[in-house]
């Protein structure tokens, strides 16, 4: 098995960001993605991505077999919300493992929620996505989107062995289309893909990341 580099790895934070200034755009305006509302927020931040990420997501959509669609779950996540998610999960791990030192808590938490200072979602660079049919029925990918390592017994890892054949085949379809479009996967979360962020840069050998933390346009929502 290849080494899994976690978001908390210092090599990720060491990647410099050269912000390209590309705007956040509303994925609903594209009209071709299934956009689920389970992560909807009052200002619809969830439905936004950097323009270049959306372009690649639409490219991946065109690579899918007939009758299969990408279902968009979440894109941009404001930094304050990212901080809340990370703190809540780290606190849960701390309560369950009181003997763990702070660095181990941080590393374990980053399997599931990125540390806020380097979070791809807060750069508008990451998308949580699954597969569905045209009737909005989600396909079997082994776990629900956003299943934790504890809940899923590690089946949330993209290369997990403890999933069925149908789920494995569907993951291969998802991974094939998104990889061909230039996105990279976070291997502890089969649903998490990104482009242009620090994790993408480290994974692809790019010298710099294109996107740093950003904010929702004032007129969004």
Mean per-residue pLDDT, 163-173 = 98
Strand order across the 126-132 sheet: 34-35, 69-74, 126-132, 189-194, 184-186
Residue 221 pLDDT more than 70?
no
- 215 token code pair: 């904010």
User: In the beta sheet, which residues pair with residue 192?
Assistant: 128
Where are the alpha helices (H) located in 50-157, listed in sequence order?
51-63, 79-96, 102-109, 149-152
> Residue 153 — left, alpha, or beta (φ > 0 → left; ψ -120 to 50 → alpha)?
left
Find out whether 208 and 15 touch, Cβ atoms under 8 Å.
yes
Q: Can you tell me the mean pLDDT for 17-21?
A: 97
pLDDT at 174 > cutoff 60: yes
Residue 187 φ then ψ, to 5°: -70, -5
Burial 74-111 (b: 16+ CB within 10 A, else e): bbbbbbebbbebbeebbeebeeeeeeeeeeebbbbbbb
- What does pTM read for this prediction? 0.93
Taking residues 112-129, what's their average pLDDT? 94
Q: How many alpha carbons lie under 13 Å from residue 123 in its C-beta half-sphere?
A: 28
Of 16, 61, 29, whose CA–CA distance to 183 is shortest? 61
Q: What is the mean pLDDT of the chain?
A: 94
Q: 184 or 112, which is more confident?
A: 184
Are 178 and 89 within 8 A, CB to CB?
no
Predicted pLDDT at 31: 85
Residues 35-60 have a mean pLDDT of: 96
Beta bridge partners of 130: 71
Mean pLDDT of 122-136: 97
Question: Count of CB atoms within 10 A of residue 157's CB?
Answer: 21
User: What is the spatial distance between Cα 103 and Cα 109, in angstroms, rounded to a whole number?
Assistant: 10
- All residues at 6 or more sequence positions from 39 whose CB lies less than 8 Å from its CB, including other chains: 46, 73, 74, 128
pLDDT at res. 219: 56
Pairing of the two strands 184-186 and 126-132:
unpaired
């Amino acid at each position: 098995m290849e080494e899994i580099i976690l978001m908390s790895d210092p090599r990720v934070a060491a990647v410099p960001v050269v912000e390209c200034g590309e705007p956040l755009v509303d994925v609903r305006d594209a009209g071709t993605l299934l956009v689920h509302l389970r992560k909807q927020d009052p200002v619809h931040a969830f439905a936004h991505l950097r323009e270049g990420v959306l372009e690649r997501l639409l490219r991946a959509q065109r690579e899918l077999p007939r009758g299969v669609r990408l279902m968009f779950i979440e894109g941009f996540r404001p930094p304050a919300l990212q901080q809340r998610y990370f703190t809540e999960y780290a606190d849960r791990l701390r309560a369950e493992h009181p003997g763990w030192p702070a660095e181990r808590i941080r590393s374990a938490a980053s399997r599931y929620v990125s540390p806020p200072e380097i979070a791809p979602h807060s750069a508008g660079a990451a998308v949580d996505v699954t597969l569905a049919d045209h009737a909005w029925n989600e396909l079997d990918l082994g776990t629900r989107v956003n299943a934790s390592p504890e809940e899923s017994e590690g089946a949330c890892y993209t290369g997990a062995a403890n999933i069925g054949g149908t789920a494995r085949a569907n993951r291969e379809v998802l991974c094939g289309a998104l990889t061909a479009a230039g996105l990279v996967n976070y291997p502890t979360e089969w649903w998490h893909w990104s482009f242009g962020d620090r994790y993408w840069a480290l994974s692809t050998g790019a010298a710099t990341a294109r996107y740093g933390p950003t904010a929702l346009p004032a007129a969004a929502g």
